[in-house]
């Protein structure tokens, strides 16, 4: 089933289409959730909350071509994660100026290419939640 047909069937409330949507995008959405929270259980809760939001808001989805469904799902999930962080006052964290690094060096493009994505995701998960949120918003 292509993305357009999947979106239309989900709009109509077709449970098989919803199951396929979950199976097709669940792994990607869990990865997005893990970028915002380091705890896997919390990320899975956000994943499920995100899909509930997606299923309830399908009437607002507008097909804009191939990839638009995935982009919309990712945006809804990101918003769910940000709402969770706001609710738990994670986004309001700050660092005293005397603890901030004095100098920042931009990594060379070749340095970035040599880091496997699995390792990069692990580094992101180890960031304090406030820093992780900022990183994710700008990545």
DSSP string, the chain: --HHHHHHHHHTT-HHHHHHHHHHHHHHHHHHHHHH-S-HHHHHHHHHHHHHHHHHTGGG----STTHHHHHHHHHHHHHHHHHHHHTT-TT----GGGS-S---PPPHHHHHTS-HHHHHHHHHHS-HHHHHHHHHH-
> CB–CB of 3/67 below 8 Å?
yes
Q: Determine the average pLDDT of the residues in 96-112.
A: 60
Is the pLDDT at 12 greater than 80? The verdict is yes
The number of domains in the chain is 1
Is the pLDDT at 33 greater than 60? The verdict is yes
- Please, what is the Cα angle at 35 between 15 and 50, to 5 degrees? 25
CATH assignment of the domain containing 101? 1.10.1740.10
Containing structural domain, residue 107: 3-138
Is the pLDDT at 114 greater than 70? The verdict is yes
pTM: predicted TM-score of the whole model, two decimal places: 0.67
């Amino acid at each position: 089933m292509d993305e357009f047909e999947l979106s239309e069937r989900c709009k109509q409330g077709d449970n098989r289409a919803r199951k396929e949507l979950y199976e097709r995008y669940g792994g990607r959405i869990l990865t997005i959730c893990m970028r915002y929270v380091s705890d896997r259980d919390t990320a899975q809760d956000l994943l499920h909350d995100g899909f509930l939001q997606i299923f309830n808001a399908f009437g607002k989805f507008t097909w804009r071509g191939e990839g638009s469904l995935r982009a919309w799902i990712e945006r809804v999930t990101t918003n769910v994660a940000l709402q969770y962080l706001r609710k738990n006052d994670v986004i309001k964290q700050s660092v005293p100026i005397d603890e901030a690094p004095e100098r920042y060096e931009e990594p060379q493009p070749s340095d970035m290419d040599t880091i496997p994505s699995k390792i990069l995701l692990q580094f992101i998960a180890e960031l304090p939640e406030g820093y992780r949120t900022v990183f994710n918003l700008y990545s």
